[in-house]
Structure 1
Amino acid sequence: MTTGLSPEGTTAAIAALGTLIRGHRIRIGLTQRELADLSTISVRAIRDLEKGKAQRPRTDTIRLIADGLRLGPRARTALEEAVRRGHRGPAAGRTAERAAPPAPLHPLIERQAEAAVLTDELRSGTERLVTLVGLSGVGKTRLALETAARLHDAGLPVLWHTAPGAVADCLPDADDTVAALTADCADYLRGDGSADDLPPSPAAALGDRGALLVLDGVDPAELVFPRLARLQREIPGLRLLLTAAEPWNVPGERLFLVSPLDAPDPAAGVRPEAPAVRLFLGRLRRVRPDLVPGERDLADIAWVCHRLDGHPLALAAAASWLTVCDLRTLRGIVDSDPAALLDPLADGRSGPSLQDRVARTLAALPAGHRQLLAGLCAAGADEFVLEDVLRLTGGPLPHCGRVIRDLLISGVVRPSTDGGRSAFRVLCVVRAALPAAAPAAVAAPSAAA
């Protein structure tokens, strides 16, 4: 006597799950995108579930969808039972082959194009080492989570490791076997133990199958490149995705710059669908569910988003202040002293403040780069172009080009498309933190420079 479902029974159970999800979503008038925003699950994952393509949905995924649908106990139990019926097939049992990424804490805003590119490159094996770089709080971890979830949906095991001291912006999957396997890989790449001591567990568990190893918040200076080369030889299908403050700068590395969200200048018209505005509105609903933004409110929100350069963590921090002030007051503070709003109204136990993180990034830059940033800020213009860097530094064109690239990679400047030309903006959070980063090194150049 067997207790598992046949393949046909498993398919039917998953199809029933999809029908339930779609029925609840339509009943309360949500689109797939709106449900994705509420549940923090990707639109693609919801679409696959509703079509019955996701053969083994995770328990966390179903719980988040049930939360997004605001299901009562009976409807939630029906969803969970449909999942259990689908999991009783021969593939039941958690192994490294189906190791899953953690569940995100926040919805994905925009980034679909970036996630699609990363997913395609890592799934096809075109790239085997990708490093996501950008300023702290810009959304590197959230993009890595989305990419990992898509690859997991495509059948690739995902081993996720959050580096010690990094802010864990997700809900880890409590599986001791997978956690031990991931720790072995991370420790090996960090150089722990003998140089010739390759841990047997990764190769034994994964063999020549494909797998994604994510090291979130890692310091590339702690990683040993020859060990990665050996690990990839032992596990030919292994891909490595890093989120870091700076590149590893090793052969074969694919550098992927994560910029802030698009926040167009509202002077050209308010765009409520702009990614930064959508993020702010989502945070607004959390702190002020009673507030329904009118036309004037949306104009204030669009200006705050533009002034804070669409930086996700800065926007979340600013939105948290709406518990003690209104939108018009918030806009006035952002205009006069944005530094006061760059940390959320919290108890401070969520890790270093945004200002502290930005200050550390600035302190790690060469003194000449900081002097250039100070000169650009002193000039008073919202944007700068290559010619401004040539004028302020007096350096040759190749040097100036490399300096701008360095600033982009560190995340302290972002490309600007408002004027339809190749221009850049020094982020507001950087302008706020710059005077405290290294006072002696940031004296503004003279007007004649």
Structure 2
Amino acid sequence: MTTGLSPEDTTAAIAALGTLIRGHRLRIGLTQRELADLSTISVRAIRDLEKGKAQRPRTDTLRLIADGLRLGPRARTALEEAGRRGHRNGTGRHRPAERTAPPAPLHPLVERRAEAAVLTEELRSGAERLVTLVGLSGVGKTRLALETAAQLHDAGFTVLWHTAPGAVADCLPGDDDAGTALAADCADYLRGDGCADDLPPSPVAGPQDRGPLLVLDGVDTADLVFPRLARLQREYPGLRLLLTAAEPWNVPGERLFLVSPLDAPDPAAGIRPDAPAVRLFLGRLRRVRPDLVPDERDLADIAWVCHRLDGHPLALAAAASWLTVCDLRTLRGIVESDPAALLDPIADGRSGPGLQDRVTKALAALPAGHRQLIGGLCAAGAREFELQDVLRLTGESLPHCGRVIRDLLISGVVRSSSDGGRSAFRVLCVVRAALSAAVPAPSAAA
């Protein structure tokens, strides 16, 4: 009796090993180069293993890779067994055992249900096949994408989720290594990376109108190759693509969806504890100060802070974190005098770049004329501005100024203002704070 694997089984086993290695690598956030440095295995060898091209991986090679991945005993045993015989539960290179689900969010959804409902229906019905969520970093694009993906998964869609390298992963990683690896392969293919010329095989066996949904979170749209999308859609009938990005892809068929900060009404018109920004702040407050039960004065301070920070979720979370070392009245005073000091949370920053760095990067990506306009609007000192102000400051034509305001809205550095019941806009406080922090203070001699 022969105990060897057939050629087909051998191919499936090697492919399953590559999927397992890639899944572990992506789970801990390593690139192939970083894993190569940690394991002393060449980048090419790791790439070949992950692509299923290495037919006979050595035991020492697998041991070094396991060391580089810092695998525990059980995961190490599974990797070694996959190297010998393939996954017990694997049936092929990329095909997940079940319909894959999106990652689990870290925070509850606040006031985005109407937006999620619109996105879900557009993607479910096929009215839109390519949607890009844009807005300033930290505004909640990932959380909205997670909610939309969860609703589509409940409706029967396979969800493939990929967080771009370097992006802040604002969710718990999924537990489906095959689905994670397949999503990464799709992202590589759309970026045209290296050996990603071959189309990844479809994981979906079901009605064409039920998926898959491919989510690329934090993607740089400038890296995507549009002609490859059509080829991927031919391989994945019914494919929907949902992007979260700093800038639009600007390709045919793209549905641009602007994610704005939460509503934070002016407290001068009355305190609204049910306002979305206030609700988010109260939720954060309970996490850092569960002993504090806000009274009317506290609610007034909270409403003012939320309005001053324009309802920007990450700015509100950062400000709330400071309540571990100061009270609400002191926090309001800091926001009023020096909001730049509160743009980063009081924690150790392990969650990624601070808000000030993110806003500075967003400003640097704008054309020079747009940055000059933002500087002029901030220097003017007015809380809000209108189209006429842009006409006056730039001296350009009406169509040009209209396009500039649209660009600034899409970038997220300004938001619409409805406080006065007119078509007005305002530069976000976090943007003003980042600009003021970037201006060097005058020297003592000066």
- Structure-1-length-normalised TM-score: 0.74
Query: Which amino acid in 1 is paired with 2:310?
Result: D
Matches within 5 A, 1:108-119: 108-119=109-120
Aligned to 2:53: none
Aligned to 2:233: 232
2-structure distance, mates of 1:241, 1:438 = 37
Aligned to 1:430: 431
1-structure distance, mates of 2:174, 2:345 = 27
Q: SS in structure 1 opposite 2:426?
A: strand
CA shift for structure 1 position 377: 1.0
Q: Does 1:268 align with 2:269?
A: yes
2-structure distance, mates of 1:388, 1:194 = 51
CA shift for structure 1 position 193: 3.9
Structure 1 range deviating more: 428-437 or 363-372: 428-437
Query: Which amino acid in 1 is paired with 2:349?
Result: G
2-structure distance, mates of 1:189, 1:224 = 6
Aligned to 1:377: 378
1-structure distance, mates of 2:124, 2:211 = 9
CA shift for structure 1 position 197: 2.2
Query: Which amino acid in 1 is paired with 2:202?
Result: P
Structure-2 change in CA distance of 1:269 and 1:97 (3 Å)? same
Aligned to 2:121: 120
1-structure distance, mates of 2:218, 2:401 = 29
Q: SS in structure 2 opposite 1:214?
A: strand
Q: Which has the larger radius of gyration?
A: 2
1-structure distance, mates of 2:433, 2:333 = 16
Q: Does 1:176 align with 2:177?
A: yes
2-structure distance, mates of 1:261, 1:354 = 16
Q: Does 1:401 align with 2:420?
A: no
2-structure distance, mates of 1:306, 1:323 = 21
Aligned to 2:355: 354
Matches within 5 A, 1:22-421: 95=96, 98-193=99-194, 197-199=198-200, 201-202=201-202, 208=208, 210-421=211-422
Query: Which amino acid in 2 is paired with 1:217?
Result: G
Structure-2 change in CA distance of 1:204 and 1:98 (3 Å)? closer
2-structure distance, mates of 1:438, 1:212 = 44
CA shift for structure 1 position 426: 0.3
Query: Retained in 1: the 8 A contact 2:340–2:437?
Result: no
CA shift for structure 1 position 117: 0.5
Query: Which amino acid in 2 is paired with 1:212?
Result: L
1-structure distance, mates of 2:156, 2:361 = 39
Per-residue CA distance 1:212-252 (angstroms, 9 max, x = gap): 00000000111111111111122221000000000011110
Q: SS in structure 2 opposite 1:202?
A: coil
Query: Which amino acid in 1 is paired with 2:347?
Result: A
Query: Retained in 1: the 8 A contact 2:102–2:150?
Result: yes
Query: Retained in 1: the 8 A contact 2:185–2:196?
Result: no
2-structure distance, mates of 1:226, 1:166 = 25
**Contiguous gaps of at least 5 residues in structure 1:** 1-93, 440-449
- Structure-2-length-normalised TM-score: 0.75
Q: SS in structure 1 opposite 2:133?
A: strand
Aligned to 2:79: none
Q: SS in structure 1 opposite 2:215?
A: strand
2-structure distance, mates of 1:308, 1:420 = 20
1-structure distance, mates of 2:168, 2:236 = 29
1-structure distance, mates of 2:152, 2:290 = 35
Give the aligned length.
345
Structure-2 change in CA distance of 1:394 and 1:297 (3 Å)? same
CA shift for structure 1 position 341: 0.7
Residue identity (%): 86
Query: Retained in 1: the 8 A contact 2:204–2:212?
Result: no
Query: Retained in 2: the 8 A contact 1:96–1:157?
Result: no
How large is the Cα RMSD of the aligned pairs? Answer: 1.7
2-structure distance, mates of 1:292, 1:349 = 29
Query: Which amino acid in 1 is paired with 2:344?
Result: D
1-structure distance, mates of 2:379, 2:278 = 28
Q: SS in structure 1 opposite 2:202?
A: helix
Query: Which amino acid in 1 is paired with 2:247?
Result: E
2-structure distance, mates of 1:379, 1:322 = 32
Query: Which amino acid in 2 is paired with 1:250?
Result: V
Query: Retained in 1: the 8 A contact 2:133–2:259?
Result: yes
Query: Which amino acid in 1 is paired with 2:353?
Result: P
Query: Retained in 2: the 8 A contact 1:156–1:212?
Result: yes
